[in-house]
Amino acid sequence: MVVKDFFPHEEFREQQEYVLDKIQEGLDRGKINFIIQAPTGSGKTALSIAIARYFKSAYICTNQKSLQKQYIEDYPQYANEVTGRGNWTCKALQEMGEKKEDGSGYPCSEGLCKLSVDEEEDEESENKKHKMIEKFEVIPECDRKPVKCDLGYEEQGKDNQSSHFAGFSSSRGSLCWKTKGHEKCEYYVQKMKGLNSPITIFNYNYFLIESNYVGDFGEREVLIADEGHNIEFQIANFIKFTFSNRNLNFLPGSNFPDLGDIELTMKEKLEVYAFWLENIKKTIPEEIAKEVINLEKLNYPEKELHRIVKIIRNKVDSRIEDLIDVLKERIKEKRSNEDNISSLVARSQKDRSEKPKYEARLRVERLNKLVNLHGKIARFLLEYWKNPSKWIMEIKEKGKEKDKEIESVNFKPIFINEYAESKFFRFGKIRVILSATILDCSYFAGNMGLNPEDTVFIPIPPTFPPENHGVYHLSIGKLNFENLVLNNDRILWGNLVVAVDVILSMFPKYKGIIHTSNSDISKYLKSYCKEGHSRLLTHNQQNRLEVLNHHLESPEPTVLCTPSMTEGVDLADDSSRFQILIKVPFPDISDLYISTRKDKDKFFYKYKTAISVCQSIGRSIRSEEDWAYTFTLDSRFPKYISDHRSLINESVSFYEKRILDFPSEKSIQKLKKEIFRNLPF
Ligand code: SF4
């Protein structure tokens, strides 16, 4: 049997058969990485399913919920998806009658089994957890979740109940249900299904956390990365480390290094902070030992204390018991072990009998934070020392002038090529990456750390007719930061409104999208365009999805006016017949990562911009029959396009006799004439 025998439909599109043949050829030659440049409409989902079925044990990662859904809706017989805890309601808390302020149930990410406060927590969720912890005398164990099981695969498979074993990918022993019949945790039910499914669908973020930290999902035969141009961003985000003042201040002497006005290079600054973290890491075992001694004094249950010490021995320091003995001697001599927690307990309003329990809870919480912080520092230092010159750090401050203090420090790798294998690709023996915007294969493979010798690049030529996607340019001026923000050029802002008004007036009955690049432009257009309030839909981070759904469902000719829908939004057919790209979407060089990367890798900036252009203009043309008009307004567009034409989608017809001066009356009339002639009203 060959890969194409597993295609999930009776017939192939021509390009699909071509791709599957190329993959087969590559496999026969011992290749392990396949990069498929698959334009919109090339049937990527069916290709992924064919490859996954051939290998019988596969992960498929996407970065969009809609794409995840598409896999499950189109191929429910082959694949199961697994989603993070935030998508499920905690049944244990629900049964206890615990509800959020708005009346909804708590998600599993804030479930009973997640009540211990960890060092990563933000202040708001830490406070929420504190309130919840206060309610319980002892936090009850939840029996709705499965437990790690020592039985081997075959042993567990004997009773033929597939939900009892994780047959396809368990790296740390299997999970099995402790109790039958009792209502099971929905989060774990779907996770168990995912473990037992030969094809499991994830989003990147959750997959990276689950596979690297939780460890229930181990290596499979194939790892398929859909929308693969996002892998770099996802891995960089996963590897970044943030240490905040609030997370550290429970540790004595952990203040951020005060560099005053000393001018240091990035490399020097990083070194200072790395040594500072090394020192903090060294102090943590002693703090942990102190808390264990405190818990002993509070008569904390012996069995539980043993369990905690065992975890510390494995995770922090194998000599923790010796350290505890040494400290006990030292404390005897000093005869005092007062700290913040004891004074907090002394000041609390609780009556005498409750105070020891309250103190024990606070101390267990602190232990948790110490263990997590130790692990996080160790992980960061391990990655950092491998290649110190390839990291950047950003310091976030709060307060004004004299009262300024460091709020947090953020460490991020500039390149992920050295991490991609260990954090992501190792979960598939064969790796298949699909995307419409892998615009330069060897550049992409280099960024991913993929060996060219092991890699096959399979480009699929675009099939959409260029005449369905014409791009017009209305040059209204250079729409850069300097002109729009620093000089606040009123004429330019005025021209922008006139241009958008003209385009809106050409499509009175059609929906469309305006890619604004930033929310200030969105707000300005909403306020000053003639149809701003009646047709333009703006949004914020919270209501983005709601506004998008309103646009898709409304019978009115609404127009999305947005800086953040350049990707992952499907505006097929009548949901968008025209689109406006206001600015050339150059990445923001005020971002330290972007500017450092640009300095070290000249091609990066051009490449990133080209991806944004391709993604933006691809929102409104989703099939061979689909059509839409695109307008660009920034005077830098024509040069950018002609300089980078080789990177940008061939099925888009750019500026053929369509570069117009603006806003002269003559040019507006010329444009209207051409649009009206072609528009199928
Ligand atoms: S395992 Fe139990 S406590 Fe944890 S989220 Fe599920 S239902 Fe809630």
Contact present, 195 and 169 (Cβ < 8 Å): yes
For residue 254, the model assigns a pLDDT of 79
Residue with tokens 């991806």: 611
For residue 608, the model assigns a pLDDT of 92
Which of 49, 56, 92 has the alpha carbon at shortest distance from 73?
A: 49
Give the residue numbers spanning the domain of 118.
89-135
CA 181/CA 601 separation, integer angstroms: 58
Contact present, 55 and 76 (Cβ < 8 Å): no
Count of structural domains, the chain: 4
CA 302/CA 582 separation, integer angstroms: 66
| Torsion angle of the four alpha carbons 52, 56, 59, 65, in this order, in degrees rounded to the nearest 10 | 60
Cα 93 to ligand 1 centre (Å): 8
Same-domain check for residues 440 and 565: no
pLDDT digits (tens, 9 = 90+) for 594-628: 999 999 998 999 999 999 998 898 899 888 889 89
Q: Is the pLDDT of residue 681 over 50?
A: no
- E strands along 516-627, which residues? 536-537, 559-562, 578-581
User: What residues form DSSP beta bridges with 536?
Assistant: 559
Question: Does a structural domain hold residue 32?
Answer: yes
User: Mean pLDDT, to the nearest integer, of 195-220?
Assistant: 91
For residue 645, the model assigns a pLDDT of 85
Amino acid type, 443: Y
Q: For a ligand 1 pocket test, name from 96, 115, 144, 192 the mutation site with the most ligand atoms within 8 angstroms of its C-beta.
A: 144
Cα 79 to ligand 1 centre (Å): 25
Dihedrals φ, ψ of 515, to 5°? -85, 105
Cα 85 to ligand 1 centre (Å): 9
CA 153/CA 217 separation, integer angstroms: 14
User: Mean pLDDT, to the nearest integer, of 260-269?
Assistant: 86
Q: In the structure encoding, which two tokens stand for residue 491, read together?
A: 């004429």
Q: For a ligand 1 pocket test, name from 83, 89, 106, 108 the mutation site with the most ligand atoms within 8 angstroms of its C-beta.
A: 108
Cα 658 to ligand 1 centre (Å): 60
Which residues have C-beta atoms less than 6 Å from ligand 1? 90-92, 108, 111-113, 142, 144-145, 185, 187-188
For residue 290, the model assigns a pLDDT of 87
The closest-lying atom of ligand 1 relative to the alpha carbon of residue 91 is 7
pLDDT digits (tens, 9 = 90+) for 31-80: 999 999 988 878 899 999 999 999 999 999 998 777 888 899 999 999 99
**First-to-last CA distance in the chain?**
51
b/e map 239-277, b = 16+ CB within 10 Å: bbbebbbebbebbeebebeeeeeeeeeeeebbeebbebb
Cα 194 to ligand 1 centre (Å): 18
Same-domain check for residues 600 and 517: yes
CATH number for the domain that contains residue 544? 3.40.50.300
pLDDT digits (tens, 9 = 90+) for 114-138: 765 454 555 666 666 666 666 665 5
The closest-lying atom of ligand 1 relative to the alpha carbon of residue 108 is 5
Same-domain check for residues 608 and 493: yes
- CA-nearest residue for atom 8, ligand 1, is 90
* Helices 44-55, 14-28: inter-axial angle, 10-degree rounding: 30
Which of 413, 412, 408 has the alpha carbon at shortest distance from 243?
A: 408
CA distances to 294, 297, 344, 503, 508 from 349, in Å: 21, 22, 10, 67, 67
Q: Is the pLDDT of residue 655 over 80?
A: no
Q: For a ligand 1 pocket test, name from 136, 185, 189 the mutation site with the most ligand atoms within 8 angstroms of its C-beta.
A: 185
CA 432/CA 546 separation, integer angstroms: 33
Same-domain check for residues 497 and 549: yes
pLDDT digits (tens, 9 = 90+) for 568-582: 788 999 999 999 999
Cα 191 to ligand 1 centre (Å): 13
User: What sections of 6-95 are H helices per DSSP?
Assistant: 14-28, 44-55, 65-74, 91-95
For residue 161, the model assigns a pLDDT of 39
Question: Does a structural domain hold residue 284?
Answer: yes
pLDDT digits (tens, 9 = 90+) for 388-415: 999 999 989 888 777 788 889 999 999 9
Cα 199 to ligand 1 centre (Å): 25
More confident residue, 171 or 500: 500
Question: Does a structural domain hold residue 526?
Answer: yes
- CA-nearest residue for atom 4, ligand 1, is 113
Helix (H) or strand (E) holding 472: strand 469-477
For residue 341, the model assigns a pLDDT of 73
Per-residue 3-state assignment (H helix, E strand, C coil) for 341-384 = HHHHHHHCCCCHHHHHHHHHHHHHHHHHHHHHHHHHHHHHHHHH
The closest-lying atom of ligand 1 relative to the alpha carbon of residue 142 is 2
Q: DSSP class of residue 228?
A: G
Lowest mean pLDDT among 48-52, 425-429, 436-440, 667-671: 667-671
- CA-nearest residue for atom 6, ligand 1, is 185
The closest-lying atom of ligand 1 relative to the alpha carbon of residue 114 is 4
Cis ω before 198 (30° cut-off from 0): no
Question: Does a structural domain hold residue 152?
Answer: no
Same-domain check for residues 543 and 436: no
Q: DSSP class of residue 563?
A: S
Q: In the structure encoding, which two tokens stand for residue 600, read together?
A: 């070290």
Same-domain check for residues 71 and 101: no
Question: Does a structural domain hold residue 344?
Answer: yes
Q: How confident is the model at residue 680 (pLDDT cuts 50, 70, 90)?
A: very low
Sheet holding 241-244, edge to edge: 241-244, 405-413, 391-398
Cα 362 to ligand 1 centre (Å): 22
Question: Does a structural domain hold residue 215?
Answer: yes
Q: For a ligand 1 pocket test, name from 83, 145, 147, 175 the mutation site with the most ligand atoms within 8 angstroms of its C-beta.
A: 145
More confident residue, 181 or 437: 437
- CA-nearest residue for atom 5, ligand 1, is 108
User: Mean pLDDT, to the nearest integer, of 505-520?
Assistant: 93
Q: How confident is the model at residue 534 (pLDDT cuts 50, 70, 90)?
A: very high
Same-domain check for residues 216 and 309: no
pLDDT digits (tens, 9 = 90+) for 442-500: 999 999 999 999 999 999 888 788 878 888 888 889 999 999 999 999 999 998 998 99
For residue 159, the model assigns a pLDDT of 41
Same-domain check for residues 79 and 102: no
Same-domain check for residues 16 and 60: yes
For residue 158, the model assigns a pLDDT of 39
For residue 466, the model assigns a pLDDT of 80
For residue 138, the model assigns a pLDDT of 56
- CA-nearest residue for atom 1, ligand 1, is 145
Cα 90 to ligand 1 centre (Å): 5
Q: Is the pLDDT of residue 373 over 70?
A: yes
Same-domain check for residues 391 and 271: yes
Same-domain check for residues 481 and 606: yes
Question: Does a structural domain hold residue 156?
Answer: no
Dihedrals φ, ψ of 629, to 5°? -100, 140
CA distances to 226, 500, 639, 650 from 645, in Å: 25, 26, 10, 8
Q: How confident is the model at residue 172 (pLDDT cuts 50, 70, 90)?
A: very low
Same-domain check for residues 500 and 549: yes
CA 608/CA 597 separation, integer angstroms: 11
CA 522/CA 528 separation, integer angstroms: 10
Average pLDDT of the chain, as a whole number:
84
Give me the interface pTM, i.e. the ipTM.
0.98
Question: Does a structural domain hold residue 440?
Answer: yes
pLDDT digits (tens, 9 = 90+) for 321-368: 888 888 777 776 655 556 777 766 766 666 667 777 778 878 888 888
For residue 118, the model assigns a pLDDT of 52
